[in-house]
Structure 1
Amino acid sequence: MIDTLDARIVRLYTEEPRTSALEASRQLGVARATLTSRLEKLQASGAIRSWSPSLAPANFGFPVLAFCFLTIEQNRGHDIVVQALVEIPEVMDVHTVSGESDMLVKVAARSNADLQRVLDSIAATEVVVRSSTVLALNTHFEARALPLFETAARA
């Protein structure tokens, strides 16, 4: 279970990810050992997945963002599709979904023409039967888990 101290720790590191453990313990008013113990617990539980930088593809040459709904060959399964898609660098996220499609794929591209190349690469996997793509015109926020984490801490 997480508590309000965990939420305060995660908020601090979300807002100031390069804060040292010593500085974080000072700002939060807790012992450094308490802070590091809590961080280790959160990592071990999987609540904190990564300390990786948050990358912005639009800022390094990939301004086109699209979401592709894929229908796959049912007898081949999802794993083979995932194995094929992980080889395409522009594929950022892959989710198995319910509804009319089987999978939802988030893709970045350099341009609309480049998006077509990426979509052709997805189709070339030979396990995708049909795809439907929508372009993101604007991203208002993404990867927004902090409010959910704070809600869980209050429960």
Structure 2
Amino acid sequence: MLDDKDEALILALERDARASVVALAREIGLSRSATQERLGRLQRGGAIAGFTVVRGRADGRTRLAAWLMIRHARGGTCARSVVPLKRIPEVKAVQSLAGDPDLLVQVSAADAADLNRIAEAVRALPGIGEVTTHVVLTDHLRRP
């Protein structure tokens, strides 16, 4: 169970995952060693799953973002589909859904041809039935 200090630490890291332990300790009102111990406990317990970089547009490259809506073929299951999807580097997130479709898959492609290649690779996986592609036109809000 997370307490108020744990929540404050996680929120501080969501704002700046590169903050030093000293800066985090100052922000949440604990000593450096107490903050370091909490950070380790939160990581070991799974409350903090990792630290990441969100690529900005400053590198001059634009990527095409899309969502693939997947319906399983007869006999297909989420558990069996997720393993090969994880092996596709352009796949950024995979979520099982209640209802139709069965899976929601976020992908990042270099361009339309690359997106088509990725979608075709997903269609070729065992247990995958129908794949519908939705290209993201505008990111209105993105939170960590």
TM norm structure 2: 0.84
SS in 2 for 1:56: coil
Give the 3-state SS of the residue equivalent to 1:13 in structure 2: helix
Match of 2:102 in 1: 102
> 1:99 is paired with a residue of what secondary structure?
coil
Of residues 55-64 and 107-116 in structure 1, the stretch that sits farther from structure 2 once superposed is 55-64
Deviation at 1:133, TM superposition (A): 1.4
Residue 54 (structure 1) aligns with = 53
Aligned residue type for 2:70? L
Q: Could you report, residue by residue, the CA deviation over 1:82-141 in whole angstroms, capped at 9, with x for unpaired residues?
A: 222122211111111122211111111111121111111111214211111111111123
Output the CA distance in 2 between the equivalents of 1:16 and 1:86. 27
CA contact (8 A) 2:75 2:127 kept: no
Give distance in 2, aligned partners of 1:91 and 1:4.
34
Distance 1:57 1:80, change over 3 A: farther
Aligned counterparts, 1:2-21, within 5 A? 2-21=2-21
CA distance in 2, matches of 1:57, 1:124: 32
Counterpart Cα distance in 2 of 1:68 and 1:142: 18
Q: C-alpha distance in 2, partners of 1:60/1:101?
A: 35
Contact 1:96 1:103 in 2 (8 A): yes
* Residues in 2 aligned to 1:134 and 1:86: alpha-carbon distance in whole angstroms: 20
Mapped contact 2:66–2:106 kept (Cα < 8 A): yes
1:40 aligns with 2:40: yes
C-alpha distance in structure 1 between counterparts of 2:27 and 2:102, whole Å: 46
Aligned pairs for 1:1-155 (under 5 A) are 1-51=1-51, 53-56=52-55, 59=59, 61=61, 63-144=63-144
Structure whose residues are more often helix by fraction? 1
How many residues align? The count is 143
TM superposition shift of 1:17: 2.0
Aligned CA-pair RMSD: 2.2
Unaligned runs of 5+ in 1: 145-155
Matched letter for residue 94 of structure 1: V
Q: In structure 2, do the counterparts of structure 1 residues 55 and 138 end up closer, same or farther at CA, with 3 Å as the change threshold?
A: same
Code of the aligned partner of 2:86: V
Matched position secondary structure for 1:30: coil
After TM superposition, where is structure 1 displaced by more than 4 Å over at least 4 residues in a row?
57-62
